[in-house]
Amino acid sequence: MATTADFKNGFCMEIDDHPWQIIEFLHVKPGKGPAFVRTKLRNLASGKIVDKTFPSGHTVKDIRIERRQYQFLYKDEAGYNFMNNETFDQITLDEVLINNPQFLTEGMPVDITFHADKEMPLVCELPPFVIMEVTYTEPAVRGDTANSVRKPATVECGASITVPSFVEAGTKIKIDTRTGEYLERVK
């Protein structure tokens, strides 16, 4: 068991038989009344994010999680298939467990978080940044360079993102997989 004094970003706990992870937390000591902890939690089974307030000193059941390196193999009708880099065991995950699955490419290394006691996969995280080639985008319109004009583009994995007007097809770009945003051109 853990108390609100043990809370930190990334801390995992079990509430109502569901695994939750703290995204943000804030200890609040108002001028009048008891202290409390305001948190933003992510349900690791469904991905749902909720705000929850705990009274200071409240106890919760902490859970032990493990992060393991896997490699993305392919997608089929059963789901997304991954292989453990150490044991070569393969697992299949549903799309809801994967953060931004549209950026997955074959052979990409990912981190899969497991509930250590139940051996249940909770969430699959892609690398924070990936480098991909733009396969299609409209040509830039002359005269639009004065403003920061953005246009849609398709990258090699099939995902659509918005890029600045100077990016052309065949250009390699760096993408933030957490937000799906263009970061910079890569040579």
Same domain, residue pair 72 and 49 = no
Please report, for the domain that includes residue 48, its CATH number.
2.30.30.30
Angle at 40 between CA 34 and CA 46, to 5 degrees: 135
Tens digits of residue pLDDT in 11-31: 889 888 888 889 899 999 998
Q: What is the domain extent for residue 167?
A: 129-186
How many other C-beta atoms can be found within 10 angstroms of the C-beta atom of residue 32? 4
* Phi/psi-derived region of residue 10, left when phi > 0, alpha when psi is between -120 and 50, beta in every other case: left
Tens digits of residue pLDDT in 100-132: 888 998 999 999 888 888 888 888 889 999 999
Same domain, residue pair 157 and 181 = yes
Same domain, residue pair 181 and 142 = yes
In the chain, what percentage of residues exceed pLDDT 70? 96
The two three-digit tokens of residue 175, written as one number = 């993408």
Structural domain count of the chain: 3
**pTM score:** 0.74
Tens digits of residue pLDDT in 38-88: 999 988 777 788 999 999 989 999 888 888 999 999 999 989 999 998 999
